[in-house]
Chain A
Amino acid sequence: MPELETQLRALGEELAWPATPDLAAAVAAAPRRRAPRLRRPTRRALAAALAVLLLIPAAAVAFPGARDDVLEWLGLRDVEIRRVPAPPAGTRPELEADLGREVTLAQARREAGFDPALPPELGPPDRVRILGQRISLIYAPRPGLPALEGVDAGLILTESRGGIPGVYLQKLLLGGGKVERVRVRGRRGAFISGEHAYLYETPRGEVREDHPLLAGPTLVWVGGGRVHRLETTAPRAETLRIARSIEP
């Protein structure tokens, strides 16, 4: 064997690696997770909605009945919930770059293979980002749309196609949030405000984490075969009005 490789192997044997933690005990103590069985397209789309967003209220966690009610509404009763004391590494919402590459609207249409619906009153977005088949339309702060924390945006509308085949979900909860059922053009949705939690997704049965997203008050709904996620600090009524103005 060449000398350098020999030296490297010797180095590996001499290194003072950090002590291996007792993972066996930690893993044994962790609850089992299982992927939800998604039978109907609507459920798939809603699962994708939660994959795109994720927030569930601590209040709901404290009262399992309320939590189950919300999950039932979203069609995700069989999703496991895990409470964590703080966001896991990587779920800091500050960077807009987490929403993907910046592209033009035309590029986003071509790459994602669908035409994102625009809020009529806001018109074309100031910036567009794409991550996989998820398009984020970013609108700069303006009167009525105060800046979201950590980004130069007053409103972010993320759209992706519903119907991810096979979804593995995990919700990570923090304290002090609130989730309300809402209707957007007759479709089920959820308006989430307060503290945040995140969800991981794994399409096609792969086990991996999704990128974290920004985290302001958020409205999620499904319409026209797509999952919509609208994030803004505008008042709830204004947020709903904007959402309802969007043609599916």
Chain B
Amino acid sequence: MTIEATDADLAARARSGDDRAFGMLVERHQTVAFRTAYVICGNAADAEDAAQDGFIKARAAMGRFREGAPFRPWLLTIVANEARNRRRAAGRRSALALRAAAEPVAPVPLPEAAALAGSERRELATALAALGPEHREVIALRYLLDLSEAECAAALGCRPGTVKSRLSRALGRLRLELEGARA
């Protein structure tokens, strides 16, 4: 029987310079890191860059990682920060393009919402996409990605209590959107 190394084991080895251990952490968490970045950036190219740079910076910062702390929230903090930087940059580019071409800027899409089967799911995805970024992000991280509240807080750069209150407001807003769509 093979016993899989825990995150804590791998992080401890990575802290001492074991690149193979860090590589295993990357493999283990790259999907959630990439999708978290995708939720924030809204496009796969920026999400990939953000996640990749996040991992590289995390590796460089392993010496500051507190032993025994959970690795995933720490990683998501870094990746989400990278993603927000790219989103801000994209916003600036969009603002420029808007002035130049006088065209509306498309809202950040949900992943392949059009590919969903079922009108209810599509309706839900459409309502979610219509929310403001703050509400959409917290719902996407908490429910679509199934992150814990602590992980959401890490990714959003806020306290867990703020995640709770923001989620509550976001769900209320989502219900209103759904009611409006069904009215």
Interface residues of A (CB under 8 A from B): 4-5, 7-12, 14-18, 20-24, 26-28, 30, 32-35, 88-92, 94-95, 97-98, 168, 205, 207-209, 212
**A8→B19 contact, CB < 8 A:** no
Cα(A55)–Cα(B115), bound, Å: 44
**A18→B38 contact, CB < 8 A:** yes
**B26→A24 contact, CB < 8 A:** yes
**B52→A27 contact, CB < 8 A:** yes
**B33→A91 contact, CB < 8 A:** no
**B48→A32 contact, CB < 8 A:** no
**A14→B121 contact, CB < 8 A:** yes
**Contact A23-B33, Cβ < 8 Å, known A4-B175, A18-B47:** yes
**B89→A91 contact, CB < 8 A:** yes
Q: What are 19 sample pairs from A and B whose C-beta atoms fall under 8 A apart?
A: A7-B121, A9-B144, A9-B146, A11-B116, A11-B144, A12-B140, A12-B145, A15-B112, A16-B112, A21-B52, A23-B33, A24-B26, A24-B30, A28-B19, A90-B92, A92-B96, A94-B96, A209-B81, A209-B85
Closest residue to A97 on the B side, CB-wise? Answer: B92
Question: Whole-angstrom distance from the CB of B123 to the nearest CB of chain A?
Answer: 10
Query: Please, which residues of chain A bring their CB within 8 A of the CB of B57?
Result: 33, 207
> Would you call B46 an interface residue if the criterion is a C-beta within 8 Å of the partner chain's C-beta atoms?
yes
Query: Please, which residues of chain A bring their CB within 8 A of the CB of B48?
Result: 21, 23
Question: Whole-angstrom distance from the CB of A21 to the nearest CB of chain B?
Answer: 5
Cα(A209)–Cα(B120), bound, Å: 40
**B143→A18 contact, CB < 8 A:** no
Residue of A12, A23, A28 ringed by the most chain B CB atoms within 10 A: A23
**B81→A33 contact, CB < 8 A:** no
Checking B55, B64, B92, B171 against A98 with a beta-carbon cut-off of 8 angstroms, the contacting residue is B92
Cα(A34)–Cα(B17), bound, Å: 12
Number of interface residues of B (CB under 8 A): 59
Closest residue to A210 on the B side, CB-wise? Answer: B85
Query: Please, which residues of chain B bring their CB within 8 A of the CB of A21?
Result: 30, 34, 48, 51-52
Query: Please, which residues of chain B bring their CB within 8 A of the CB of A95?
Result: 92, 95-96
Query: Please, which residues of chain A bring their CB within 8 A of the CB of B111?
Result: 15-18
> Would you call B158 an interface residue if the criterion is a C-beta within 8 Å of the partner chain's C-beta atoms?
no
Query: Please, which residues of chain B bring their CB within 8 A of the CB of A90?
Result: 85-86, 88-90, 92
> Would you call B139 an interface residue if the criterion is a C-beta within 8 Å of the partner chain's C-beta atoms?
yes
Cα(A32)–Cα(B48), bound, Å: 19
> Would you call B69 an interface residue if the criterion is a C-beta within 8 Å of the partner chain's C-beta atoms?
no
Closest residue to B56 on the A side, CB-wise? Answer: A30
Closest residue to A28 on the B side, CB-wise? Answer: B23
Question: Whole-angstrom distance from the CB of A225 to the nearest CB of chain B?
Answer: 27
Cα(A14)–Cα(B171), bound, Å: 20
Query: Please, which residues of chain A bring their CB within 8 A of the CB of B121?
Result: 7, 10-11, 14
Checking A12, A88, A97, A98 against B143 with a beta-carbon cut-off of 8 angstroms, the contacting residue is A12
Cα(A90)–Cα(B26), bound, Å: 25
Question: Whole-angstrom distance from the CB of A83 to the nearest CB of chain B?
Answer: 15
Query: Please, which residues of chain A bring their CB within 8 A of the CB of B146?
Result: 9, 12
**B31→A20 contact, CB < 8 A:** yes
